[in-house]
Amino acid sequence: MTFEKNILCIGAGYVGGPTMAMIAHKCPHYRVTVVDVNPERIAAWNSAQLPIFEPGLDAVVGKVRGRNLFFSTDIEAGIRDNDIIFVSVNTPTKSFGLGAGMTADLQYWEKTARQILAFSHSPKIVIEKSTLPVKTALAMERILNCREDGICFDVLSNPEFLAEGSALSDLEEPDRILIGSRETDRGLRARATLADIYANWVPRERIITSNIWSSELSKLVSNAFLAQRISSINAISALCEKAEADITEVARAVGMDSRIGPKFLNASVGFGGSCFKKDILNLVYLCRHYGLDEVAAYWESVVTINRFQQERFIETMLGAMFNTLAGKKICLWGFAFKANTGDTRESPAIFIARRLLEEQAELVVSDPKALLNARADLAGVDGSVRYVEDATLAAEGCHAVALLTEWDCYRHLDFERIFGSMVQPAFLFDGRNILDHGRLYEMGFNVYPVGKPPLVHF
């Protein structure tokens, strides 16, 4: 069968896999191939046990895999045989050298650029899907356009805005698709080609275009704004606890202003995930690079408040439990950085677990999808940790439960039974404010929400 377009994605991760599955699903007339350097990951994409948990993903991959979606480790053939190449490799925070702890580590990305250069026998459109510092496309262009055989490459920026846990619906009905290009004839033609791919299912008015630097920067700024809202509400949650106000009531009143809006105002134990902190630090580094120290300090404070919120949670636990956690059993409900994903990258649970172990607490970690990752995150950490998938069994014999991920299953537990199985007085710290605090208090729990007065039995 011949396909209208042949599309490649380099990087079979949380973005590359679901995004390409959606393109293949919506465009049966295109052949989509996803390649990765990691053979285990590719084997998992080709198996019944996909490498990531994402609601709805199994069904979509099941429909298109082997039809017009293929996963492979053959990067050379992938580059040779496809004209449109998405690059969706990881761009973590650099952990060494200049800019360590702040700027993006571009080694995976640059390696990809050089592979494209080496294996191409025809012109390609190369699309930055990874989140990158502003002006990265320029470096990509400089690497790619150093060929002497006249083969040209057009570099586009097409940042991804999906959130884990809702990736499939975000991809199916995106708020916007952003395509940045050079404003030359070639650049505009490449931009139109990519827009045509999305137009198979996204209304044209949602496909917006810009110059390439605006596109790169818009991605960092979108994440910075989202994280800023969470840090804003979390900062106010600290004040609520002092002032006997209720953060849920404040968020509702504030969010009803249509200029502010109600989303992303849930106070929590802090934001996690592989991107918010990384992208803000990237933005901060860029601002410092351009001598904008005040702008850098402003955005850096979003990360500072996030860490403050996590530390505050530990202090609340310590204060509530008579200033000692040594030898006490504490159950963590949830280890994923948010509900509906098994991803634990930068999860607040990692920081909290480590801090509790420093206090010599004994941990029982529970999560419906993230226990494998949790084990890896806590491997080698000193202290006692058990992993129990069932939330009710995990809480048995514990002095306290700390709810860290807003999994729906935690709302519907048999709390009477759980209370009866715990050491008394039993403590419940709701780091996501999703439980019925009044009811739990009536049952006998000492309840500590975020940003609300605690409900304590004396």
Which residues are near ligand NAD by CB under 6 A? 10-16, 35-38, 41, 75, 88-91, 108, 111-112, 130-131, 160, 162, 164, 274-275
SS3 356: helix
Q: Which two tokens stand for residue 8?
A: 């490649």
Measured from the CB atom, is 38 or 304 closer to ligand NAD? 38
SS3 141: helix
Q: One symbol per residue from 216 to 235: x for binding ligand UGA (CB under 6 A), - otherwise; what is it?
A: -------x--x---x-----
In one letter, which amino acid is 173?
E
Interhelix angle 212-243/276-289, rounded to 10 degrees, is 110
- Of 275, 281, 325, 349, the one binding ligand UGA (CB under 6 A) is 275
Answer yes or no whether residue 265 interacts with ligand UGA by CB under 6 A: yes
Q: How far is the CB of 93 from ligand UGA (least distance, A)?
A: 13
Q: Under a CB-based contact definition with an 8 Å cutoff, are residues 211 and 155 in contact?
A: no
Q: How far is the CB of 70 from ligand UGA (least distance, A)?
A: 25
Q: Under a CB-based contact definition with an 8 Å cutoff, are residues 12 and 36 in contact?
A: yes
Residues 308/312/314/317 CA torsion (nearest 10 deg): -170
Q: How far is the CB of 432 from ligand NAD (least distance, A)?
A: 19
Q: How far is the CB of 17 from ligand UGA (least distance, A)?
A: 14
Q: Is 240 among the catalytic positions?
A: no
Q: Which residues contact 226 (CB under 8 A, 6 or more apart)?
A: 264, 276
The sign of the CA dihedral 126, 127, 129, 132 is positive
Between CA 169 and CA 176 the distance in angstroms is: 13
Locus of tokens 């996590």: 310
DSSP character for 92? P
Q: How far is the CB of 342 from ligand NAD (least distance, A)?
A: 12
> From the list ligand UGA, ligand NAD, none, which binds 24 (C-beta under 5 to 8 Å, kind-based)?
none
| Chain residues 136-175 in contact with ligand UGA, contact rule CB under 6 A | 160-164
CA angle at 222 for the pair 157 and 340, rounded to the nearest 5°: 100
Answer yes or no whether residue 17 interacts with ligand UGA by CB under 6 A: no
Measured from the CB atom, is 101 or 319 closer to ligand NAD? 101
Answer yes or no whether residue 16 interacts with ligand UGA by CB under 6 A: no
> From the list ligand UGA, ligand NAD, none, which binds 226 (C-beta under 5 to 8 Å, kind-based)?
ligand UGA
Between CA 126 and CA 157 the distance in angstroms is: 9
SS3 447: strand
Extract the runs of DSSP E, i.e. beta strands, from 362-415: 362-366, 385-387, 400-403
- Of 264, 308, 387, 441, the one binding ligand UGA (CB under 6 A) is 264
Q: How many residues sit in the footprint of ligand UGA (CB under 6 A)?
A: 20
Give the CA distances from residue 61 to residues 84, 129, 173, 346, 457, in Å, rounded to whole numbers and listed in that order: 21, 20, 18, 27, 51
> From the list ligand UGA, ligand NAD, none, which binds 16 (C-beta under 5 to 8 Å, kind-based)?
ligand NAD
Between CA 297 and CA 209 the distance in angstroms is: 30
> From the list ligand UGA, ligand NAD, none, which binds 223 (C-beta under 5 to 8 Å, kind-based)?
ligand UGA
Q: Which two tokens stand for residue 79?
A: 């580059």
Give the CA distances from residue 35 to residues 3, 28, 71, 433, in Å, rounded to whole numbers and listed in that order: 19, 19, 6, 41
- Of 120, 130, 266, 282, the one binding ligand UGA (CB under 6 A) is 266
Q: How far is the CB of 208 from ligand NAD (least distance, A)?
A: 17
> From the list ligand NAD, ligand UGA, none, which binds 41 (C-beta under 5 to 8 Å, kind-based)?
ligand NAD
Question: From the candidates 9, 27, 240, 275, which is the catalytic residue?
Answer: 275
> From the list ligand UGA, ligand NAD, none, which binds 338 (C-beta under 5 to 8 Å, kind-based)?
ligand UGA
> From the list ligand UGA, ligand NAD, none, which binds 112 (C-beta under 5 to 8 Å, kind-based)?
ligand NAD
Phi, psi of 382 (to 5 degrees): -70, 140
Measured from the CB atom, is 128 or 241 closer to ligand NAD? 128
Residues 339/14/171/86 CA torsion (nearest 10 deg): 170
Measured from the CB atom, is 210 or 392 closer to ligand NAD? 210
Measured from the CB atom, is 262 or 327 closer to ligand UGA? 262
- Of 112, 268, 310, 446, the one binding ligand UGA (CB under 6 A) is 268
Answer yes or no whether residue 133 interacts with ligand UGA by CB under 6 A: no
> How remote is the C-alpha of 302 from its chain's centroid?
16
Estimate the share of the chain in helix, then strand, then coil, as percent rounded to the nearest 5.
45, 15, 40
In our burial notation (b when 16+ CB lie closer than 10 A, e otherwise), range 299-324 reads: bbbbbebbebbbebbbebbbebbeee
Measured from the CB atom, is 164 or 241 closer to ligand NAD? 164
Answer yes or no whether residue 20 interacts with ligand UGA by CB under 6 A: no
> From the list ligand UGA, ligand NAD, none, which binds 38 (C-beta under 5 to 8 Å, kind-based)?
ligand NAD
SS3 419: helix
| Chain residues 67-96 in contact with ligand UGA, contact rule CB under 6 A | none
Cite the active site residues: 275
Residues that bind ligand UGA (CB under 6 A): 131, 160-164, 223, 226, 230, 264-266, 268, 271-273, 275-276, 337-338
